[in-house]
Amino acid sequence: MNIRLLFNRVVPPACLLCGARSTRSLCPGCLADLPWHRQPQCPQCALPTPDGQLCGACLQHPPAFDRTQAALTYAFPLDQMIPRLKYHGQLAIAPVLGECLAQALEHAPRPDRLIAMPLHAARIRERGFNHATEIARSVARQLGLPLDLDSCRRTRDTPPQMGLKYDARRRNVRGAFSCSGEVQEQRIALIDDVMTTGTSLDELAATLKLAGALEVSCWVVARTLAPGH
Ligand SMILES: [Zn+2]
Ligand SMILES: [Zn+2]
């Protein structure tokens, strides 16, 4: 008997959220109950808008990325799962989030390559992994897309963006990334866990475009809603 079969006999496979017996990481009930991000939304940043038109923020300050696809709305249980992955090292959560993203993007136009939001080397040393890379591995495997782990680096460790106004956020991340010429003429999908202000994704997309990338999409597991939604 191989180790996995033995393990399954001792600990029957269970849903990560409700503990019910399940051959997949989430049981069908929990999967269906997730807050799928399907409401009419801004095509560029995925913020809900009444008729799916561009939002005020994208009209005022057009981001460098061309569009955003978010699988889920940042609400329960994502507000528990994502911190458990990021700060408590529960790596088993990454493939589950990757599956959600792959499922939501089943019919999305295919990019030439995936790039995970890079984490600064100091943060990787501290946590032992980059959560965005772990999610991206799962998406790459399921959609059969190449994952590029070498072309982009985070060269500056930036303080958290929360609570900063637009101009301060932009200054905060300016020059935070470097990208190699490998991305020239490429259509890229950037993978990240959560899009809140989108400033880091915007800066990375701008850096990619300066390096010659043709098109940049954001593929995020969860979209934070603006207050009032
Ligand atoms: Zn369940
Ligand atoms: Zn927008």
What one-character-per-residue DSSP string does 29-60 give?
A: HHHHHS-B--SSB-TTT--B-TTSPPPHHHHH
**What value does the mean pLDDT of the chain take?**
91
- 62 C-alpha to center of ligand 2: Å? 8
Is residue 39 domain-resident? yes
Alpha carbon of 112 to ligand 2 centroid (Å): 24
Q: From ligand 1's centre to the CA of 208, what distance in Å?
A: 39
pLDDT in tens, 2-40: 655 555 555 668 999 999 999 888 999 999 999 999 999
Query: Which of residues 194 and 173 earns the better pLDDT score?
Result: 194
Which pLDDT value is given to residue 154?
95
Cα of 48 from ligand 2 centre, angstroms: 8
Q: How far is the CA of 134 from the centre of ligand 1 (A)?
A: 22
- Whether residue 181 is found in the same domain as residue 214: yes
Interval between CA 15 and ligand 1 midpoint (Å): 5
* Closest ligand by atom to 223 CA: 2
Number of domains in the chain: 2
Q: Which ligand is nearest to the CA of 63?
A: 2
Please report whether residue 228 resides in a domain: no
Taking the centre of ligand 1 as the mean of its atom positions, its distance from the CA of residue 31, in whole angstroms, is 7
Collapsing DSSP to helix, strand or coil, 142 comes out as: helix
Q: Does some domain include residue 211?
A: yes
Considering only residues 226 and 190, tell me which one the structure prediction assigns the higher pLDDT: 190
- pLDDT the model gives residue 3: 57
Cβ 147 vs Cβ 140: under 8 Å: yes
Q: Kindly state whether residues 89 and 19 are assigned to the same domain.
A: no
- Give the per-residue pLDDT at 164: 77
Q: Are residues 79 and 186 in the same domain?
A: yes
**CA 80 – ligand 1 centroid, Å:** 15
In total, the chain counts a number of residues equal to: 229
CA of 24 to the centre of ligand 1 (A): 10
Ligand nearest to the CA of 27: 1
Asked if 20 and 88 sit in the same domain, the reply is no
Helix (H, G, I), strand (E, B) or coil at 11: coil
Residue 107 has pLDDT above 60, yes or no: yes
Quick: pLDDT tens for 109-163: 999 999 999 999 999 999 999 999 999 999 999 999 999 999 999 998 877 776 7
| Position 170 in a domain | yes
Alpha-carbon span 144 to 135, nearest angstrom: 14
Domain ranges, residue 53: 35-223
Q: What is the pLDDT of residue 75?
A: 96
**Same structural domain for residues 19 and 64?**
no
* Cα 8 to ligand 1 centre (Å): 17
Least distant ligand from the CA of 61: 2
Cβ atoms within 10 Å, residue 168: 11
Which has more pLDDT, 142 or 168?
142
Q: Which amino acid is at 22?
A: S
> 73 CA to middle of ligand 2, Å?
15
Question: So what's the pLDDT on residue 24?
Answer: 86
Does 137 lie in the same domain as 126? yes
Distance CA 15, CA 224 (A): 25
Instruction: Tell me what pLDDT residue 8 has.
Output: 52
229 in a structural domain: no
- 112 shares its domain with 164: yes
